[in-house]
Amino acid sequence: MPVSPGSKLGPYELLSLLGAGGMGEVYRARDSRLGRDVAIKVLPAERMADESRRRRFVQEARAASALNHPNIVTIHEIESADGIDFMVMEYVPGQTLAALIPKHGMRLEEALRAAIPIADALAAAHSRGIVHRDLKPANVAVTQDGLVKVLDFGLAKLVGEMNEGAETLTATEESGPLSRPGAIAGTARYMSPEQATGRKVDARSDVFSFGAVLYEMVTGRRAFGGSSLAETLASVAREQPKAPSELAVEVPKELERLILRCLQKDPERRFQHMVDVRVELQEIKEEGGPPSRLTSGPGDDYLPSWSRDGRFIYYASDRAGGRAEVWRIPAAGGSEERVTHGGGSLAYESADGKTLFFMRESFARTSLLALRLAGGPERKVLECVPPLGFAVGPGGVYHFACEASPAGTPLYVLDPATGRDRLLATVEKTDGGLAVSPDGKTFFYPKGGGEGSDLMMIENFR
């Protein structure tokens, strides 16, 4: 029976092909009994007669189903239908790490957010006597919520069973392994030297592969490569990659040392246990490190602010012809997007995340404008002669009056829907800066005048 999207395997309808390799094809499928999406891994029909592949398929299921960890894909069951053996797994929506690593490498915080769960997952597998043997960016999925899942224990083998038989797998460049007696196992660019030379492997082989993946995460470059499979294997076995600092990549020295120790050719000189790698990564995360570059365009970038959902950073930049405009970029790094086209600087999203409020300065006047992020023309909210600051909170747009009176400077909240101001308080002379708490009840502003200014707070507003 040929298998393709639209086919049915028992109660499962195959919806789309997610990926394919030497160990099988993976489909997104719908479980008609439970009404949920799952991932199904099935051996290609033309290879079902290969008993060694069938054995290894069952072995994969046995190894992976023994693991119960939040960062390892869950195996639901193993079934057969119409003569086809298949594995039903948790469906992980999102992208693989291979698709998420930018060409210049990931920011430190982003890399650690992914690396620590991967290390934790491998440590858990090793504690059960299971070695992955094919760790690579394509075998790590990251959901939209940032959850990391290690996939495809297709090359995993119980340590006690290692090297007991002649049946092994063929190394490939990218697409995955193919069974063949007397060959070697893994994906060439990420395998350990002992894998590359056909020697006995243990959990320290995963430590090396993890180092190769982490190297690529922080540098954007592969640790090993070559124009052919033979050259790649030779590079893995003999060459040492350049340290990230030699590539002008700013990472903490402790992280650089960790990566290079993982990539030691001699297993005795690597970390001996994955749990030690995880602990050191956690310490590096807690200690922090040098700032990571987020934007890299021409001109000056300044006045950053978060989007309400935390996915984007808004900022002002004068890269567009020397005039300040509002831009935004994903907080995790990626392509920059210009938001305003008539000038803009300080910008904040509305409480519901649907509207962007921003300042525009021209000659001696400063305007506050609103722009619907879903599309539409901008509109003017208010205009002042001096450039006074503003803040956005749950009640609307908070701002000071354009001109102070002898009694002080009035603080208003403006309802964007009606365009009406409501007086909240009158404060001392201020230079215009303003911040509001998330509940809209506390305000901070600089008290101006004299030889300097102090930060003031007013609270308990409703």
pLDDT in tens, 156-187: 665 545 444 433 444 555 544 333 334 445 68
| pLDDT value at residue 180 | 39
Asked which of 57, 72, 90 is the last residue of a domain, the reply is 90
Does residue 208 register a pLDDT over 50?
yes
Domain presence at residue 293: no
Least confident span in 105-109, 320-324, 370-374: 320-324
Are 357 and 232 in a shared domain? Answer: no
Question: What pTM does this model have?
Answer: 0.63
pLDDT of residue 119: 96
36, 70, 90 — which closes off a domain?
Answer: 90
Question: Which tops the pLDDT comparison, 153 or 213?
Answer: 213
Structural domain containing residue 328: 301-458
**Cα(319)–Cα(323) distance, rounded to whole angstroms?**
7
Q: What share of the chain is helix, strand, coil (3-state, %, to 5)?
A: 25, 30, 45
Residue type at position 145 = D
**Same-domain check for residues 253 and 112:** yes
Residue 186 forms part of a structural domain: yes
Q: Looking at residues 27-51, what average pLDDT do you find?
A: 82
Q: Does 1 reside within a domain?
A: no
Reduced to 3 states (helix: H, G, I; strand: E, B; else coil), residue 126 is helix
Are 262 and 211 in contact, with CB atoms under 8 Å apart?
A: yes
Of 336, 331, 327, 340, the C-alpha closest to 370 is 340
Q: Answer yes or no: are the C-beta atoms of 64 and 72 closer than 8 Å.
A: yes
Q: Are residues 419 and 453 in the same domain?
A: yes
* Mean pLDDT estimate for the chain: 83
H helix runs in 66-130, sequence order: 97-100, 108-127
Q: Are residues 69 and 131 in the same domain?
A: no
| Residue 295 lies inside a defined structural domain of this protein | no
202 in active site: no
Residue with tokens 């006047």, as numbered in its chain: 365
Of the candidates 414, 415, 407, the residue with the CA atom closest to the CA atom of residue 384: 414
**Which residue among 61, 90, 119 closes a domain?**
90
- In this structure, the answer to whether residues 245 and 181 fall within a common structural domain is yes
* Domain CATH code at residue 326: 2.120.10.30
Same domain, 239 and 107: yes
Q: Is residue 432 part of a domain?
A: yes
Nearest to 397 by CA among 452, 434, 451, 428: 434
Identify the CA nearest to 152 among candidates 84, 93, 52, 75: 75
Q: Find the catalytic residue in 50, 82, 85, 134.
A: 134
The DSSP result for 239-295, as a single string, is --PPPGGGGT----HHHHHHHHHHT-SSGGGS-S-HHHHHHHHHHHHHH--SPPP--
Number of domains in the chain: 3
* Whether 393 and 432 share a structural domain: yes
